[in-house]
Copies of this chain bind each other. A is one copy, B any other.
Amino acid sequence: MESEHWSKSEKAIARQAFEQALKRECASLMEKVRRRARGIAEPNDLWKLHDFLTKQRRNIDEKYDYRYSVLLFVFARLIGEGWLEEDELAGLSEDKLNRIRRILEWRNQ
């Protein structure tokens, strides 16, 4: 993606949306881990929980990449996965919103 300008207000909107999505995904993961932990009945459940956490941690580390060069792709993915609503990005330029929508369409094809 070509380098593009982000205004100060766009950066604030982007940062808030990004943090909000991360907070939601982590809240969901915390609930899943608490539930899985309650169900631990044998040693193998421990190692399955460990594997699950390893995978989820890597997933979150890779997904939440706040470089402006990839941020529209990140937002499209977060919307596609349900961690973010498009209207939480209101205030970004129409061009950026259109590009996010196009990425989403490609994802959904």
Listed in ascending order, the chain A residues whose CB lies under 8 Å from chain B are 22, 26, 29-30, 33-34, 36-38, 40-43, 45-47, 49-50, 53-54, 57
Contacts and interface: CB of A to CB of B under 8 A. Distances in A.
- Copies of this chain assembled into the complex: 2
Contacts of A47: 57
B33 A49 contact: yes
A43 to B, nearest CB: 4
A34 B30 contact: no
> Secondary structure of the A side of the interface?
helix
A40 B30 CA distance: 7
A40 B41 CA distance: 19
B46 A50 contact: no
Nearest to A44: B26
A46 B53 contact: yes
Contacts of A45: 30
Given A26-B46, A30-B41, A33-B46, 20 more contacts: A26-B42, A26-B43, A29-B43, A29-B46, A30-B40, A30-B43, A30-B45, A30-B46, A33-B49, A34-B37, A34-B38, A36-B37, A37-B38, A46-B57, A47-B57, A49-B53, A50-B53, A50-B54, A50-B57, A54-B54
